[in-house]
């Protein structure tokens, strides 16, 4: 690594750069990071310790490795484990769609469930980078489906890259159902997958109203790659039973919070 960063880098920015290097290289060593950022061994040791405590990487002797994957389950396995609670949340989200709207669907098993919960007779234009969601929506006779293409990630079953971005940036949508890997009041929306960030940001920029649907276990969680602050979400749909203080924290940020008692 070359020393391309000044020692005055903010700690939070430096830690985000460490995660980017880890994503790119598959491992980082403390000595390389000291040289790269022109900071002390103690500083890098503290950075790695804090990132490990947050569950964002795995400390090893002399450096760090990516954290173990959460479940190792592929998209189809995760969708097959859809719970009654997630179905109720998805139905509440689907009920917000009105005839004639242009609706963006982010990738994910929850947004797929929302697509499948729409009335068969709904009339809308749907834009998505998820082939699975496009197929589900194609069964609706009055839905025009626009599929953004690009490189397919077999884990998320979604396309990313320049072509997907260009199409999404050219859309002015009424509504976005955004996928949520993690949502934290201070950190915001974050993702486990670096390649998702730009597409998610483009979707947020292209929608007049943003709805996030998530189970309680993703509230207060943090993943390595930050997408946007919570203020970019207008409506949060989640479970009735959430960690104490969670709902208030998001309402204080201006979000409309809707809860489902399954």
Domain of 101, CATH number, reads: 3.40.50.1360
Domain assignment present for residue 80? The answer is yes
Same domain for 60 and 77? no
Helix H or strand E encompassing 30:
helix 30-37
Same domain for 97 and 36? no
Domain assignment present for residue 140? The answer is yes
Same domain for 38 and 122? no
Tokens representing residue 162 in the block: 């320049």
At residue 8, the pLDDT reads 43
CA angle 87, 89, 91 (to 5 degrees): 70
Question: Taking the CB of residue 73, how many other CB atoms lie within 10 A of it?
Answer: 13
pLDDT at 240 over 80: yes
pLDDT at 223 over 60: yes
Same domain for 20 and 92? no
pLDDT at 47 over 80: yes
Q: Give the start-end residues of each E strand in the chain.
A: 28-29, 57-60, 63-66, 101-105, 124-128, 143-147, 151-153, 158-160, 173-178, 182-184, 188-191, 207-213, 225-228, 235-239, 256-260
Same domain for 27 and 125? no
Instruction: Report how far apart the first and last C-alpha atoms of the chain are (Å, whole number).
Output: 52
Q: Which of 64, 81, 100 is the last residue of a domain?
A: 64
Domain assignment present for residue 2? The answer is no
At residue 222, the pLDDT reads 83
pLDDT band (50, 70, 90) for residue 202 = very high
CA gap 19, 52 in Å, rounded: 11
Give the pLDDT mean for 85-108.
Answer: 95
Average pLDDT, the chain: 88
Same domain for 240 and 160? yes
The answer to whether the CB of 112 falls within 8 A of the CB of 133 is yes
Give the pLDDT mean for 97-112.
Answer: 96
pLDDT band (50, 70, 90) for residue 214 = very high
Domain assignment present for residue 244? The answer is yes
Q: Are strands 207-213 and 143-147 parallel, antiparallel or unpaired?
A: unpaired
Query: How many percent of the chain have pLDDT more than 90?
Result: 58
At residue 206, the pLDDT reads 97
Q: Which residue has the higher pLDDT, 7 or 238?
A: 238
Same domain for 28 and 111? no
Domain that holds residue 19: 9-64
Same domain for 145 and 254? yes
Domain of 25, CATH number, reads: 1.10.10.10
Same domain for 126 and 243? yes
Structural domain count of the chain: 2
Same domain for 56 and 82? no
């Amino acid at each position: 690594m070359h020393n391309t960063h000044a020692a005055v880098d903010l700690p939070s920015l430096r830690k985000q750069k460490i995660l980017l290097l880890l994503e790119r290289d598959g491992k980082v060593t403390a000595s390389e990071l000291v040289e790269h950022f022109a900071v002390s061994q103690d500083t890098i040791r503290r950075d790695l310790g804090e990132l490990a405590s947050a569950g964002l990487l795995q400390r090893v002797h002399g450096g760090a490795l990516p954290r173990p994957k959460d479940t190792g389950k592929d998209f189809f396995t995760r969708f097959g484990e859809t719970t009654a609670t997630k179905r109720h949340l998805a139905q509440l989200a689907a009920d917000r769609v009105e005839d004639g709207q242009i609706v963006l669907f982010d990738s994910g098993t929850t947004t797929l469930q929302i697509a499948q919960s729409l009335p068969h007779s709904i009339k809308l234009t749907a834009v998505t980078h998820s082939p699975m969601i496009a197929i589900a929506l194609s069964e609706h006779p009055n839905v025009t489906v626009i599929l953004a293409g690009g490189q397919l990630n077999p884990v998320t079953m979604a396309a990313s890259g320049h072509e997907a971005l260009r199409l999404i940036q050219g859309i002015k949508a009424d509504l976005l159902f955004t996928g949520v890997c993690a949502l934290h009041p201070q950190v915001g929306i974050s993702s486990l997958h670096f390649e998702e960030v730009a597409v998610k940001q483009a979707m947020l920029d292209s929608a007049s109203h943003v709805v996030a649907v998530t189970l309680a276990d993703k509230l207060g969680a943090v993943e390595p790659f930050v997408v946007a602050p919570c203020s970019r979400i207008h409506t949060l749909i989640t479970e009735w039973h959430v960690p104490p203080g969670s709902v208030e924290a998001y309402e204080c940020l201006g979000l409309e919070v809707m809860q489902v008692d399954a």
